[in-house]
Amino acid sequence: DLARDLAVAAVRATIVDVPTVRAHKLSQTSVTAQSYVVVQVRLRNGVEGVGEAATLGGPRWSEESVEGIKATIDAYLAPALIGHPADRLVAAGARLDAAAKRNNAAKAALETALFDAVGRTLGLPVSALLGGAVRTAFPVLWTLASGDPDQEIAEAEAKLAARLHRTFKIKIGALAPEADLARLARLAAALGGRATLIVDANQAWDETTARRCLPRLADLGVALVEQPLPAWNVAGLGRLRARDGVPPLLADECVFTPHDMLAVAGAAAADAVSLKLVKHGGLLGTRAVAAVAQAAGIGLYGGCLLESSLGASAHLQVFATLRDLAWGCEHFGPQILTGDLVTEPLRFADFEVHLPGGPGLGVTLDPDRLRHYARS
Ligand code: MUC
Ligand code: MG
């Protein structure tokens, strides 16, 4: 009957640009607006599911841009799903892989929309479709990335006072290493003891620089160092990690697929891995990468690409189902936007972000906001 007809009837992809509250600087770019592709999938039963593909500074963080994501969905990926039953998620993934190589962010947004539509049809949260939630709140960090230490200290103080965040990730690599170390020394002096500091170099250092700087980061009390080396240099990460006085290392851009994760495990190249839908091609792919990490004793970290409440909720739905999430998450994205895309944004309180209740993703796309932020 119609209520049970889960076949995909229509797919729509919309590019949106949402301004951020301040410039966000990382090693390779500086962003003042977050660009997403919002995917709406309508089933024959009339239910609509929604997903979001995030980017950071165009195709600079990874190879996908919003323009490319929309073009690939419209021409190749959406046609592969039309008529396909939305609840056959593994088969849907195989169809998407047959239609286009990689394009993981585009595939993740489509798979998210399928999960949302199936959950809404059944009246179940997406987490229930993935085995069920083992947690409903997640410690959430904030990223300091203006590059101006006075501004960064003031921003961190405001987050601490509001009991929103007490772990801070500092973006490094846009400045020379010595300048970043001086900046970090100021942040550590101001915030040390009251906050945990981690850093993300976004691939900016070579192995020689990292060998020199990592012990100094440890001396400053930095608790975790994310992707200090280029994504290709997994062997180098393994060599750094084997040295004394090096803080724990977090793999980000070097782990997209479960095969990448296996290679990082084989090289003993990371203490933890940053999980992101845009890298792993969806919620099922995220669980697959997490399973390889868990098998190798590598910790899980709930990564982001500055998603809105829509994309952040999709991440929380899958993070909720992971038995261990030792390093918490970084889904502060909704807080750095000047506006959100959903009717009721995610709730942040007492240093945690909360899994929204209700069916599907637990958040609902606001059509007025979508229209407002849609690129004309
Ligand atoms: C990244 O490389 O981790 C996540 C948080 C942030 O500030 O930048 C992103 C991307
Ligand atoms: Mg990173």
User: Could you identify the atom of ligand 1 that is nearest to the CA of residue 145?
Assistant: 7
What's the Rg (C-alpha) of the chain?
20
Q: Are residues 62 and 146 in the same domain?
A: no
> Based on the structure, what is the number of domains in the chain?
2
User: Could you identify the atom of ligand 1 that is nearest to the CA of residue 143?
Assistant: 7
pLDDT at 2: 66
pLDDT at 4: 80
Q: Are residues 166 and 208 in the same domain?
A: yes
Q: Are residues 89 and 203 in the same domain?
A: no
Q: Are residues 136 and 95 in the same domain?
A: no
Give the tens place of pLDDT for each residue, 280-289: 999 999 999 9
Q: Are residues 136 and 246 in the same domain?
A: yes
Share of the chain above pLDDT 90, in %: 98
Q: Are residues 215 and 359 in the same domain?
A: yes
pLDDT at 314: 99
Q: Which residues line ligand 1 (CB under 6 A)?
A: 26, 56, 143, 145, 171, 200, 202, 252, 303-306, 330
Interatomic CA distance for residues 174 and 172, integer angstroms: 6
User: Could you identify the atom of ligand 1 that is nearest to the CA of residue 333?
Assistant: 5
Tell me the ipTM for this assembly.
0.98
Under the banding of pLDDT at 50, 70 and 90, the label for residue 185 is very high
- DSSP readout, 302-326? E--SS--HHHHHHHHHHHTT-S--T
Contact between 264 and 250 under an 8 Å Cβ cutoff? The reply is: no
Q: Residue 365 Cα, ligand 2 centroid: separation in angstroms? A: 27
Q: Are residues 231 and 258 in the same domain?
A: yes
Q: Residue 274 Cα, ligand 2 centroid: separation in angstroms? A: 7
Q: Residue 328 Cα, ligand 2 centroid: separation in angstroms? A: 14
Specify the residue with its C-alpha closest to ligand 1, atom 2: 202
Q: In terms of residue numbers, what domain contains 76?
A: 2-123+368-373
Mean pLDDT of the chain: 98
Q: Are residues 116 and 154 in the same domain?
A: no
Give the tens place of pLDDT for each residue, 117-161: 999 999 999 999 999 999 999 999 999 999 999 999 999 999 999
Q: Residue 219 Cα, ligand 1 centroid: separation in angstroms? A: 24
Is 159 assigned a catalytic role? no
Specify the residue with its C-alpha closest to ligand 1, atom 7: 143
Report which bound ligand comes closest to the CA of 145.
Answer: 1
Give the tens place of pLDDT for each residue, 339-352: 999 999 999 999 99
Report which bound ligand comes closest to the CA of 171.
Answer: 1
Look up tokens 């979001």; give the residue. 52
User: Could you identify the atom of ligand 1 that is nearest to the CA of residue 171?
Assistant: 7
Name the catalytic one among 52, 155, 307, 330: 330
Name the catalytic one among 171, 253, 279, 352: 171
Report which bound ligand comes closest to the CA of 24.
Answer: 1
Contact between 187 and 149 under an 8 Å Cβ cutoff? The reply is: yes
Q: Is the dihedral of CA 159, 249, 107, 15 positive or negative?
A: positive
Q: Are residues 40 and 55 in the same domain?
A: yes
Q: Residue 265 Cα, ligand 1 centroid: separation in angstroms? A: 22
- 94: domain CATH number is 3.30.390.10
Q: Tell me the best of 159, 169, 250, 278 to mutate to test the pocket of ligand 1, counting ligand atoms within 8 Å of each CB and taking the most.
A: 169
Q: Are residues 140 and 286 in the same domain?
A: yes
pLDDT at 1: 65
- 306: domain CATH number is 3.20.20.120
Report the 10 Å Cβ neighbour count for 67.
Answer: 15
Mean pLDDT confidence for 11-23: 98
Under the banding of pLDDT at 50, 70 and 90, the label for residue 11 is very high
Is 178 assigned a catalytic role? no
Least confident of 1-5, 24-28, 160-164: 1-5
- The closest alpha carbon to 315, from 343, 334, 299, belongs to 334
Residue count of the chain: 376
Q: List residues bridging with 40 in a β-sheet.
A: 12, 50
Q: Are residues 183 and 331 in the same domain?
A: yes
Q: Residue 305 Cα, ligand 2 centroid: separation in angstroms? A: 8
